[in-house]
Amino acid sequence: MVEKPVISNQSQTTSINPEWLERNFPCAWACPVHTEAGRYVNLIAQGRYDEAYRVARAPNPFASICGRICAAPCEDVCRRGKLDQPIAIRALKRFVTERFGVEALIDVIKLREVLRPRLKPKDKWVAVVGAGPAGLSCAHDLALAGYRVTVFEAQEVPGGMLRLGVPEYRLPRELIRLEINAILSLGVELKLRKALGRDFSLDDLRNNGYEAIFLAIGAHKSRMLNLEGTEADGILNAVDFLLNVNLGYKVQLGEKIVVIGGGNVAFDVARTAVRQEIPADVAASDITAALDVARSAVRFGAKKVDMVVLEAAGQMLADEEEIEQAHEERITIHNAIGPKRIITQNGRVAGLEVWQVASLFDAQGRFNPQFIPGTERVIEADTIIIAIGQTADLSFIQPHHGIDFSPRGTITVNNASLATSAEDVFAGGDLAFGPRIAIAAVA
């Protein structure tokens, strides 16, 4: 029995009673922006595609992109899955966005019809730092609420990890461009090649009249392994590799590539010092990034790609489809082994010595991998790419800014308001919550 409606018929979430939502609409609850997936699926079933698009787009300025690459936590909790198969919510989103979304080249006036009516413009300026899904979604919502927004982006292109991390074969660049253009068409100003900490400071933004600042610079610093040999030529980190590939630069890889991936989920758990259930949105992004690295290396001409993963095959928190595609591309995934030593010759990488995992957690549930002596073997490599996760670069923060951050290297925020400990500064996305999935950054 449905006791109390919480969602209005304009598809805007007015007030949410979390328990009620979880009980009655598990998919809307699981979606970080609470998309009314059940409603748009029903509208599609009735052939009311235009309305279905409005429902999918209303809470999500990246609906078209999500139709392609969302990790779809909504499907994991779909009640239908208890009977047979969960409803293909993401595929249906793609179906409807291809007809009515930016990829159908609907004009901006039509898009405005889909969006909430604009309030009277306010004469207040907000600076958003970082043009990934978190920063651009914030800019979108502020523009709709009548604020004047400038987005400052360090790179030469906007889109964040959607553009710099996710490879083109999974997400067409044109789709990213169109979805971002729709946001900019709301009057959002975008300044490229402007990095906080390098080209300007928080104080500069305040001095230039910005009344609030939203930080959304993501997590772009690769975690490195504490292993003998990591300073050798031929060692790359995943973020640098993906950035170079996705910006069209040449990377010398050689023929034999080893990708060290996975394990970073366990690393995150270790930081909290308590073994806990890993939320799907955190877990999915880590192994996805490592698989993207391996598959990009194949496309970059590597003849042999080996992936070294601490977790056993059944423990790897990756989409089955992604793993299957990796196998089809002849990427060899070695599960339940860990790196012991990088083998070098004349200062260059020659291989990776690995050994078998005995256990990943100790009796207290802390991440503490143990290996089996005597199981060592060497995987030959011209290049080793370390893809064990990313953290944020917080070097722009000065003590006088008064911005608190956690031991995990994320900025501490109030989960509801995204306010940091500095009065006029807010933060969101991977910078505030660690690497997750795109729709979590939109939320």
Contact pattern for ligand SF4 over residues 89 through 118, marking x by CB under 6 A = xx--x-------------------------
DSSP structure class, residue 406: -
As a whole number of angstroms, the distance between CA 348 and CA 139 comes to 45
Instruction: Count CB atoms within 10 A of the CB of residue 206.
Output: 15
Q: Which residues pair with 200 in a beta bridge?
A: 196
Q: Residue 70 interacts with ligand SF4 (CB under 6 A)?
A: yes
Judged by beta carbon distances under 5 to 8 A according to partner kind, the member of ligand SF4, ligand FAD, none in contact with residue 411 is none
Q: Which residues pair with 60 in a beta bridge?
A: none
- The HSE-up count of residue 384 (CA atoms within 13 Å, CB side) is 30
Instruction: Count CB atoms within 10 A of the CB of residue 136.
Output: 31
14-33 positions binding ligand SF4, by CB under 6 A? 31
Contact pattern for ligand FAD over residues 51 through 90, marking x by CB under 6 A = ------------------xxx-------------------
State which H helix or E strand residue 166 sits in: none
Contact 87, 30 (CB under 8 A): no
Q: Residue 60 interacts with ligand SF4 (CB under 6 A)?
A: yes
Contact pattern for ligand FAD over residues 280 through 319, marking x by CB under 6 A = -----x--xx--x---------------------------
User: What are the φ/ψ torsions at residue 79 (nearest 5 degrees)?
Assistant: -60, -30
As a whole number of angstroms, the distance between CA 283 and CA 277 comes to 10
As a whole number of angstroms, the distance between CA 230 and CA 241 comes to 15
Contact pattern for ligand FAD over residues 191 through 230, marking x by CB under 6 A = ----xxx------------------xxx-x----------
Q: Residue 213 interacts with ligand SF4 (CB under 6 A)?
A: no
Taking the CA atoms of residue 340, residue 342, residue 345 and residue 349 in that order, the dihedral angle to the nearest 10 degrees is 150
Please pick, from the candidates 38, 130, 262, 263, the single residue that binds ligand FAD as defined by CB under 6 A. 130
Cite the beta strand spans of 189-266 per DSSP E.
189-191, 212-215, 221-222, 235-237, 256-261
Judged by beta carbon distances under 5 to 8 A according to partner kind, the member of ligand FAD, ligand SF4, none in contact with residue 35 is ligand SF4
Q: Residue 37 interacts with ligand SF4 (CB under 6 A)?
A: yes
Please pick, from the candidates 32, 38, 135, 338, the single residue that binds ligand FAD as defined by CB under 6 A. 135
Which residues lie near ligand FAD (CB under 6 A)? 69-71, 129-135, 152-155, 160-162, 165-166, 195-197, 216-218, 220, 242, 285, 288-289, 292, 396, 429-431, 435-439, 441
Which residues lie near ligand SF4 (CB under 6 A)? 31, 35, 37, 60, 66, 70, 72-74, 89-90, 93, 439
